[in-house]
């Protein structure tokens, strides 16, 4: 385009050109998803409210906005809920950049939670200044180890990370279930859970009971520029992106795709484990036996919304955090179950994938940045890849 | 090879078998075909000559129903027709043998030939016994015996091509289109295929032969139509034209068909390869006990039909593949186990055959591609921090120096044309003092201008003292550039000859037979 | 026999083999039943992947079909509480049949979406599958909560066929008859479907064209095979198997719908497909293997092992047995992927017109 005399970063140039197009498609997808959600609400309104209510969706969305943004409690909730989404979203997004699909963020999250809770219980009476970092570290290490496994398997046996990580998610659930029922169990509790982490809990910065802004939010916000810098300004980031874009060329460039794959999956596990650790130490304070979380799918949504770019992921995480923060109020005021957010999320993803619907509806032009480029490498390695050689 | 006398082609049928009038086809940004007229008589072998990208394949895709023209008409036997797709084309007797074979490797010969026109037993099941029978009969009629049950992936390239031709004959093709059929054949196999084509023409089939190889076209065609940039620029009869005349038509200006490589002054031995054994991806030994050496300041050309182990040999030398035996010695140092980066740091450079696979990251900006092999060191990287400004500066310098046509250094490498992509790779690999330069099919798919440029660059590198290892399936390229020529056959080097006295036929024979005194009578069943 | 068992360390191995044989022969029927959704899921995967389309959304298709089947049957029972029953045909009632139909249609409809996203939109196929999983799980989770509040009646399930006593009492082979015949309709059809698909895939024109399209679609196109139409048809037909698998959950093996009840079987089905080298019979065998691993947790409780082996096995926490099928899947994938070659064109979107 224009030739400046001032050298502009190569990535900045790329972003500005197709960024507008991508933002338009993302925005369009979200709007269309809201429309679909509205239609679904109208259709199920007889069951929810007893009679057909064509305005149910307006009540619901209004409550959503109110619950998420229009009160200090709501805002705190938004950020608190966004925190694990941002971190787990970075996990999935980082994987994408290396041509890997980390559906295992869910399992890595659980292991991170488990690791941090185990360390936290052990250090429950120690001074915070020691307990908190060590507990976080334990969670991060557990998550990293759980990311290392599929990474190593992919690099050295060719087993595709999609099925392996999904299996590991189920295994993680069982591990947590066992750990909470046996060694870490809190005696005399009303439901199966571990004891509290005590002093290892992350301090609260502001807010009232039930709506506490914990310091973990800062960790998530800090992670975004760090991951961005690593990916786009560091040498190792260049290697990760090259392996994701063209593993054969990466080998010729002297990189070692196997090592990069293992490293990236481990780092992804680290991030998702950190998300788990932060959730336990900052919000939960203990780990229940059946920890119901949809963080895994949420992370995928966030990563795709953000097109695997850390800043995009920040936006995606905050959006999803807001939706989930406002959902309880939506359920109370309009009667629409909070599961509606799961549906909205899936539909947003659908429209992101079927972006030609979005383009057709909003009369947008075809731009060069489609979904995530590196996805080609993800899918082409499905049947076993010859690039994992060296 | 005698040039056929065109007066022997019967002219008695007034309507040509095939006529294409005023065919125009545009794709976004490029006019592929611009008002092209073409006519082919029955029993005629008509050559379509043009550079890569001139529009020959587009025209034939239109004929075959794979594309629809924006304007123009197609007439068969004088009647205008609309060809809706490949099955329609086949119904009308038009068959195409593609440059990149349209064969399914894991299926058998019978499966491949019959796909789309299967022999059935009832409505659902295949009659596999009858299918085998028909394949055998067809093969006998045209004198090539193919084993119907052999998996196509196990056949040699020459035999795979016969399967393609069999496909066409099975469909009663009256018009047979062959797209660059000799690209993968040895000179001997080319002669054999020409024999088959002449037999088919004598039986009344019309043949359209697409090529960019001047001497072949002169040898086989009854008439030649030259296409340049989407337009027909001339029509010739072989007896009334020459290679120079055709080349000038093809390119639009006088073309220096061969670079004068001058005298070489070879110095000490730079690369010494001894008893090298290399496996392919499936573990099979495709290079068996190869030994040769390359000296400073000389070009060693390795001739051989694609698939005789050249790719694996090259990958081993540049560190992308581990040999299972033997040694590679560079400038006195054993580098057998070295990886690509170690060799790069020892001043070895590589221009890969598959530039989209090993040579470039298409989605990355040109700048990142220029420093692809140097990204990790100063000045482009300090520790883990990248220096974007330094990268951009180097890229702009390289673009200017090697005349890469692009609006800026930050656009994706995928936006460049093939020739410019190759120049980009050359800019990266040639722009330093090298001990060893390895080139694999460096000018495949490029226009004549780019080919000239790269050949000149190779010679100048040689003259600067680099040892050059050139692998190419284009025998002309080997003859033009090489000071010494090695021939590779089935994973072995069968001979090394002096480039100045090399004889094309002799080398072709070596490429086809490996130097055995009798060429083995290969049937499809025993071919590798 | 006991002599073998008493050998210090190796004896444990013999005890294990003996125990596994006992488990297999007494639980053969349960194992086949548990294998049914996995096998059917892998047939769905086969239809997709042999044509060149990656489908990791089988899980979503199954759960959507399970819900639709259950819900449709429930609606019929609500409208017509008195249902005529065909005792000779697995106790089929109109409600159950309509439920079965609804499940199959749902499987095909969701497959049509995947087909559209993968073939026409040319979206990334793994993402398309993931989206289907997310949406299906989300929508069914949402709907079951809403519907549960009104306590809908269940339509029950198909009854299992009872093979004649003299057949199942046969020594040595009686348990095989019990295994294959003491089943509901869907489970019983699984082996038959495997055989039919195997024959069709390798001996019919459809099978040849499908395999060609999955390996080299451009080659198939140039001889006149309509690649796009073939892929659409196969993907949608594959949805029939996903629909049957879903119906198994709520109409054959169980009676009520629970959110997430497919429990990852859709993914294990993919592993079965890979392990079975993309053949119907191979996938069936692999499904049996995975189901056997999953049945161990039930077996340990119903037919407890004795002796030294028993002490070890019963000391292992329940959660390990629940995790076993997933662990086995990982091990199989790690050992087998490199050697089991997928259809060459799988996952690559296909463009019809060649550009030059």
Q: List domains and CATH numbers for chain B.
A: 269-513 (3.40.50.300)
What confidence score (pLDDT) does residue B6 get?
A: 45
pLDDT for B302 equals 92
Of C302, C198, C237, C244, nearest to C69 by C-alpha is C244
Q: With an 8 Å Cβ cutoff, are B125 and C203 in contact? A: yes
Interface test with A, best of B353, B354, B383, B388 (most A CBs within 10 A): B388
Task: Check if the beta carbon of residue B156 is closer than 8 Å to that of residue B185.
Answer: no
Q: Is the pLDDT of residue C75 over 80?
A: yes
- The answer to whether the Cβ–Cβ distance between A171 and C117 falls below 8 Å is no
- Asked whether the beta carbons of residue A254 and residue B392 sit closer than 8 angstroms, the reply is no
Count of alpha carbons within 13 angstroms of residue C109, beta-carbon side:
11
What is the number of alpha carbons within 13 Å of residue A148 lying toward its C-beta? Answer: 8
- Chains touching A by CB (3 or more pairs below 8 Å): B, C
Q: Which of C226, C254, C237 is nearest to C154 (CA)?
A: C254
φ and ψ at residue B228, rounded to 5 degrees: -135, 130
- Mapping DSSP onto H, E and C, the string for B412-450 reads EHHHCCHHHHHHHHHHHHHCCCCCEEEEECCCCCCCHHH
**Model pTM score:** 0.83
What does the pLDDT look like over A175-214, one tens digit per residue? 998 888 877 777 777 777 777 777 767 777 777 777 788 8
d(CA C84, CA C78): 14
Joined tokens for residue B279: 């496996």
**Res B515: pLDDT:** 67
- pLDDT at C155 exceeding the cut of 60: yes
Distance from CA of B219 to the nearest CA of C (A): 27
Tell me, what's the pLDDT at B516?
A: 58
Backbone dihedral region for residue B105 (phi beyond 0: left; psi -120 to 50: alpha; all else: beta)? alpha
Q: Is residue A344 part of a domain?
A: yes
Q: Closest Cα to residue A70, out of A304, A310, A322, A296? A: A322
* Parent domain of A132: 19-376
C148 touching A (Cβ < 8 Å): no
Q: Verify whether the Cβ–Cβ distance B340 to A252 is below 8 Å.
A: yes
Residues of C with CB under 8 A from a CB of B: 200, 203-206, 208-209, 211-212, 215-216, 218-225, 344, 353-356
Question: B510 phi and psi, to 5 degrees?
Answer: -60, -40
* Confidence at residue A9, expressed as pLDDT on a 0 to 100 scale: 45
pLDDT in tens, B423-457: 899 989 988 889 999 999 898 878 777 888 889 99
Interface check for A211 against chain C (CB to CB < 8 A): the answer is: no
- Helix (H) and strand (E) counts in chain A: 15, 2
* Separation of alpha carbons A238 and A387, rounded Å: 17
Question: Which chain C residues contact residue B106 at CB under 8 A?
Answer: 211, 215, 344
Question: Lowest-confidence range among B12-21, B83-92, C326-335?
Answer: B12-21
Q: In this predicted structure, what is the pLDDT of residue A11?
A: 45
| Distance in angstroms (rounded) separating the CA atoms of residues A343 and C317 | 36
How large is the greatest C-alpha to C-alpha distance in chain A, in angstroms? 71
Tell me whether residues C219 and B104 touch, CB distance under 8 A: yes
According to DSSP, the residues that pair with B156 across neighbouring strands are: none
- Note whether A32 and A361 are within 8 A (CB): yes
| Tokens representing residue B366 in the block | 């040109």
Mean pLDDT taken over chain B: 84
> Residues B246-264: what's their mean pLDDT?
74
Q: How many domains does chain C have?
A: 1
How much of chain C exceeds pLDDT 70, in percent? Answer: 96
Is A358 inside any structural domain? yes
- Please tell me if residue C54 touches chain A, with a CB cutoff of 8 Å: yes
CB contact under 8 A, A382 and C317: no
pLDDT for the residue B528: 34
A292, part of any domain: yes
Give residue B99's pLDDT. Answer: 77
Q: What is the pLDDT of residues B44-59, one digit of tens each?
A: 999 998 877 778 888 8
| pLDDT for A383 | 62
pLDDT for the residue numbered B96: 87
- Res C39: pLDDT: 96
Q: What is the CATH number of the domain that holds A218?
A: 1.10.3470
- pLDDT of res. C196: 96
**Taking chain A (390 residues) in consecutive chunks of 10 residues, what is each chunk's mean pLDDT?**
38 54 83 90 82 84 87 87 95 93 93 91 82 91 96 90 90 90 74 73 76 87 95 93 92 92 96 93 80 82 89 94 90 85 86 80 63 69 55
- Residue at C152 is within a domain: yes
Query: Does A387 reside within a domain?
Result: no
In a domain, A11, yes or no: no
Q: Which residues of A touch B408 (CB under 8 A)?
A: 1, 3, 13
Whether residue B271 contacts residue B467, with contact meaning beta carbons closer than 8 Å, is answered with yes
Give a yes or no: residue C348 inside a domain. Answer: no
Q: What is the pLDDT of residue A165?
A: 92
Domain tally, chain A:
1
Residue C8 domain flag: yes
- Confidence at residue B521, expressed as pLDDT on a 0 to 100 scale: 40
B98 touches C356 (CB < 8 A) = no
Higher pLDDT, A380 or C141: C141
Chain C: residue whose CA lies nearest to A301: C131
DSSP string, B348-417: EEEE-SSIIIII--TTSBHHHHHTTTTTTSTTTEETTEE-HHHHHHHHHHHHHHHT---S-TTSBGGGS-
Residue tagged 């099955």 (tokens): B87
Given a cut of 50, whether residue C157 has pLDDT beyond it is yes
User: Is A1 domain-assigned?
Assistant: no
Query: CA torsion B338→B340→B346→B352, rounded to 10°?
Result: 130
Is B492 strand, coil or helix? strand
Is C145 part of a structural domain of the chain? yes
* Tokens representing residue C269 in the block: 């089905």
Q: Is A154 on the interface with C (CB under 8 A)?
A: no
Q: From the CA of B226, how many Å to the nearest CA of chain C?
A: 18
- pLDDT of res. C43: 97
Contacts with A337 from chain C: Cβ below 8 Å:
142, 145-146
pLDDT cut 90: percent of chain B above it? 27
Candidates B281, B320, B363; nearest CB to A251 = B320
Mean pLDDT of B253-266: 73
Interatomic CA distance for residues A62 and A260, integer angstroms: 46
CATH number of the domain bearing residue C210: 1.10.3470
Cα distance between residue A37 and residue C45, in whole Å: 30
Q: Which chains touch B (3 or more CB pairs under 8 A)?
A: A, C
For residue B379, is the peptide bond before it cis, meaning its omega torsion is within 30 degrees of 0?
yes
- For β-strands B285-295 and B299-303, DSSP reports them as unpaired
Supply the pLDDT for residue B381: 86
Assigned domain for C335 exists: yes
Please name the residues in contact with C89: beta carbons below 8 A apart, sequence gap of 6 or more: C185
A88 C-beta neighbours (distance < 10 Å), count: 37
For residue C342, what is the nearest residue in chain B, using CA coordinates? B106
CA nearest neighbour of A335 among A33, A71, A47, A52: A47
Give the mean pLDDT of chain C.
86
Q: What is the pLDDT averaged over residues B314-338?
A: 92
Give Cα separations from B175 to B15, B47, B199, B201, B257 (angstroms): 14, 13, 14, 10, 33
Range(s) of the domain holding residue C12? 2-339
Report if residue A105 sits inside a domain.
Answer: yes
Q: Look at residue C266 in the predicted model and tell me its pLDDT.
A: 92
In a domain, C355, yes or no: no
Query: What count of other Cβ atoms lies within 10 Å of the Cβ of residue B24?
Result: 16
Nearest CA in chain B to C210: B115
Position A14 in a domain: no
Q: At what angle do helices C58-79 and C265-275 cross, to 10 degrees?
A: 130
Count of Cβ atoms closer than 10 Å to residue B283 Cβ: 8
Contacts of C340 in chain A (CB under 8 A): 384
> pLDDT digits over B126-157, tens only?
888 988 898 888 888 777 778 889 999 888 77
């Amino acid at each position: 385009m224009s030739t400046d005399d001032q050298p502009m970063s190569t990535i900045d140039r790329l972003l500005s050109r197709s960024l507008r197009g991508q933002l338009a498609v993302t925005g369009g997808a979200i709007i269309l998803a809201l429309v679909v959600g509205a239609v679904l609400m109208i259709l199920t309104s007889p069951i929810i409210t007893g009679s057909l209510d064509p305005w149910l969706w307006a009540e619901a969305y209004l409550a959503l906005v109110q619950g998420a943004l229009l009160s200090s409690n709501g805002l705190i909730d938004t950020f608190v809920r966004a925190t694990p989404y941002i971190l787990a979203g970075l996990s999935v997004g980082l994987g994408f950049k290396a041509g890997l699909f980390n559906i295992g963020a869910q399992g890595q999250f659980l292991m991170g939670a488990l690791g941090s809770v185990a360390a936290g219980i052990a250090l429950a009476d120690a001074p915070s200044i020691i307990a908190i970092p060590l507990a976080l570290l334990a969670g991060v290490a557990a998550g990293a180890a759980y990311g290392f496994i599929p990474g190593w398997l992919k690099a050295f046996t060719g087993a595709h990370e999609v099925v392996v990580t999904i299996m590991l998610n189920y295994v993680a659930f069982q591990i947590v279930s066992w750990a909470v029922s046996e060694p870490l169990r809190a005696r005399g509790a009303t439901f199966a859970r571990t004891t509290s982490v005590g002093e290892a809990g992350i301090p609260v910065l502001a807010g009232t009971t039930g709506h506490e802004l914990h310091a973990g939010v800062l960790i998530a916000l800090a992670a975004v520029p760090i991951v961005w810098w690593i990916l786009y300004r560091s040498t190792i980031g260049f290697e990760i992106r090259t392996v994701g874009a063209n593993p054969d060329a990466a080998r010729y460039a002297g990189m070692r795709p196997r090592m990069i794959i293992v490293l990236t999956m481990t780092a992804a596990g680290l991030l998702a484990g950190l998300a788990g650790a932060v959730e336990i130490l900052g919000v939960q304070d203990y780990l229940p036996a059946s920890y119901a979380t949809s963080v895994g799918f949420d992370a995928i949504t966030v990563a795709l919304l953000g097109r695997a770019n850390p800043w995009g992921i920040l936006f995606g995480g905050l959006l999803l955090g807001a939706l989930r923060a406002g959902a309880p109020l939506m359920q109370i005021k309009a009667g629409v179950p909070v599961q509606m957010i799961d549906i909205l999320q899936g539909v947003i993803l659908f429209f992101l994938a079927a972006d030609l619907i979005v383009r057709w509806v909003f009369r947008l032009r075809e731009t060069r940045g489609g979904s995530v480029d590196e996805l080609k490498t993800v899918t082409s390695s499905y049947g076993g890849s010859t690039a994992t050689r060296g | 090879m005698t040039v056929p006398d065109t007066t022997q082609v019967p002219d008695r049928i007034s309507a040509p078998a095939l006529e294409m009038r005023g065919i125009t086809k545009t794709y976004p940004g490029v006019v592929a075909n611009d008002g092209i007229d073409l006519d082919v008589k029955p029993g005629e072998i008509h050559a379509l000559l043009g550079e890569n990208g001139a529009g020959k394949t587009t025209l034939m895709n239109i004929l075959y129903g794979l594309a629809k023209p924006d304007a123009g008409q197609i007439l068969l036997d004088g009647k205008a027709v609309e060809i809706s797709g490949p099955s329609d084309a086949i119904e009308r007797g038009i068959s195409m043998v593609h440059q990149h074979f349209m064969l399914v490797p894991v299926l058998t010969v019978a499966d491949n030939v019959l796909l789309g026109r299967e022999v059935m037993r009832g409505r659902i099941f295949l009659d596999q016994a009858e299918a085998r029978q028909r394949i055998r009969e067809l093969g006998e009629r045209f004198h090539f015996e193919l084993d119907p049950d052999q998996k196509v992936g196990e056949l040699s390239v020459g035999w795979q091509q016969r399967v393609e031709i069999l496909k066409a004959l099975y469909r009663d093709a009256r018009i047979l289109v062959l797209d660059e059929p000799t690209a993968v054949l040895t000179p001997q196999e080319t002669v054999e295929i020409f024999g088959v084509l002449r037999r088919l023409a004598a039986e009344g089939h019309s043949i359209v032969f697409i090529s960019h190889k001047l001497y072949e076209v002169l040898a086989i065609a009854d008439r030649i139509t030259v296409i340049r940039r989407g337009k027909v620029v001339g029509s010739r009869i072989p007896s009334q034209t020459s290679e120079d005349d055709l080349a000038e038509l093809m390119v639009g200006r006088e073309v220096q068909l061969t670079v004068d490589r001058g005298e070489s002054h070879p110095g000490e031995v730079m690369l010494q390869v001894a008893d090298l054994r290399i496996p392919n991806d499936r573990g099979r030994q495709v290079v068996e006990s190869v030994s040769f050496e390359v000296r400073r300041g000389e070009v060693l050309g390795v001739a051989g039909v694609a698939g005789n182990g050249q790719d694996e040999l090259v990958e081993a030398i540049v560190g992308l593949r581990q040999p299972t035996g033997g040694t590679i010695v560079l400038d006195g140092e054993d580098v057998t186990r070295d990886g690509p980066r170690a060799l790069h740091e020892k001043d070895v450079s590589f221009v890969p055959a598959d530039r989209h696979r090993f040579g470039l990251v298409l989605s990355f900006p040109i700048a990142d591609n220029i420093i692809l092999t140097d990204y990790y060191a100063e000045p482009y990287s300090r520790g883990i921090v990248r220096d974007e400004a330094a990268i951009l500066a180097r890229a702009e310098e390289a673009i200017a120096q090697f005349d890469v046509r692009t609006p800026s250094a930050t656009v994706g490498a995928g936006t460049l044309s093939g020739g410019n992509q190759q120049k980009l790779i050359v800019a990266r690999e040639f722009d330093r003092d090298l001990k060893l330069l390895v080139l694999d099919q460096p000018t495949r798919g490029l226009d004549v201008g780019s080919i000239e440029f790269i050949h000149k660059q190779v010679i100048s590198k040689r003259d600067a003292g680099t040892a050059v290892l050139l692998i190419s399936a284009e025998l002309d390229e080997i003859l033009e550039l090489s000071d010494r020529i090695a021939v590779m056959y089935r994973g072995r080097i069968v001979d090394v000859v002096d480039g100045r006295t090399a004889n094309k036929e002799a080398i072709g024979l070596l490429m086809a037979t490996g130097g055995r005194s009798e060429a083995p009578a290969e049937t499809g069943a025993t071919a590798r | 026999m006991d002599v073998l068992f008493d050998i210090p360390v190796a004896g444990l191995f013999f005890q294990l083999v003996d125990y596994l044989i006992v488990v297999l022969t007494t639980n053969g029927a349960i194992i086949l039943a548990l294998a049914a959704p996995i096998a059917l899921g892998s047939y769905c995967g086969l239809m997709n992947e042999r044509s060149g389309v990656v489908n990791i959304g089988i899980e979503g298709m199954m759960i959507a079909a399970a819900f639709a089947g259950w819900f449709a049957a429930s609606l019929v029972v609500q409208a017509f509480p008195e249902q005529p029953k065909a005792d000779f045909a697995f106790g089929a009632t109109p409600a159950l049949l309509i439920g079965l139909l609804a499940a199959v249609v749902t499987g095909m409809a969701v497959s049509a979406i995947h087909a559209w996203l993968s073939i026409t939109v040319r979206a990334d196929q793994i993402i398309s599958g993931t989206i289907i999983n997310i949406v299906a799980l989300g929508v069914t989770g949402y709907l079951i909560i809403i519907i549960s509040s009104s306590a809908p009646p269940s339509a029950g399930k198909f009854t299992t066929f009872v093979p004649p006593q003299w057949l199942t009492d046969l020594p040595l082979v009686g348990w095989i008859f019990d295994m294959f015949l003491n089943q509901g309709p869907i489970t019983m059809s699984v082996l038959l479907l495997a055989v039919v698909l195997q024959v069709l895939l390798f001996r019919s024109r459809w099978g040849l064209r499908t395999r060609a399209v999955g390996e080299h679609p451009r080659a198939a196109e140039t001889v006149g095979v309509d690649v796009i139409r073939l892929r659409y048809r196969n993907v949608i037909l594959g949805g029939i198997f996903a629909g049957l698998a879903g119906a198994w959950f709520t109409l054959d093996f169980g009676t009520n719908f629970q959110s997430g009840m497919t429990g990852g079987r859709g993914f294990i089905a993919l592993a079965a497909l890979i392990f079975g080298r993309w053949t119907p019979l191979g996938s069936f065998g692999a499904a049996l293997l995975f189901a056997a691993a999953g049945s161990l947790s039930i077996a340990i409780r119903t037919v407890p092992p004795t002796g030294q082996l028993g002490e070890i096995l019963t000391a292992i926490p329940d959660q390990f047995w629940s995790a076993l099928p997933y662990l086995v899947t990982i091990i199989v994938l790690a050992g087998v992927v490199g050697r089991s070659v997928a259809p060459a064109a799988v996952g690559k979107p296909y463009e019809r017109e060649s550009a030059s």
